[in-house]
Amino acid sequence: MSDVDSTALPVKLYYRIGEVSEIVGVEPHVLRYWETEFRSIRPQKSRKGQRIYSRRDVDRLLKVKDLLYSHGFTIAGARKRLREGGAEPNTAALAVAVAAAPAAPRPGEQLRAALGEIRRDIVTLLSELDGAGMGVEIAGRTQGATAG
């Protein structure tokens, strides 16, 4: 895979960018660039905003370095190879899945429909009461004939 075996990594839950830079053998700015190019590499951020890489992130970075430096792939070619291997999300498949998914209702849409139905019921009841000769007062207004 690479000149660094992933089993030779220090046993830690998380690695800082400087450690990962030494392990992978590239400068930190290269790691930050690869984050923008490969969706599968997404380190977490600490409270201070520092990148914290998991072991899986380090393994993927080693694979990316191997593809780019040892096998001579371009960024696009490495991304495609990782996608074929299942390590990189397939953006074309995601776009198709999003397009095929039914549109989610807007948050207030169901409430608006329910309120519209209630309003129609109230208007129907008021017209029935008005047709029966009963006056109904709503919010200071008199609806229909007033009994009195």
Annotate the chain with DSSP letters as a single string.
Answer: --SS-GGGS---SEEEHHHHHHHHTS-HHHHHHHHHH-TT---EE-TTS-EEEEHHHHHHHHHHHIIIIIS---HHHHHHHHHHTTSS--HHHHHHHHHHSPPPPPTTHHHHHHHHHHHHHHHHHHHHHHHTT--EEETTEEESPPP-
Please give the pLDDT value at position 87.
61
CA distance 84 to 61: 16
Mean pLDDT per 10-residue run, the chain (148 residues)?
57 89 94 91 90 91 92 91 72 54 65 86 85 63 51
Provide the pLDDT for residue 67.
Answer: 92
Query: For position 108, what pLDDT does the model report?
Result: 74
Looking from the CA of 92 toward its CB, the CA atoms found within 13 Å total 4
Residue type, 13: L
Q: Give bridge partners of residue 141 from the DSSP assignment.
A: 138
In this prediction, residue 113 carries a pLDDT of 82
pLDDT of residue 132: 72
pLDDT of residue 34: 93
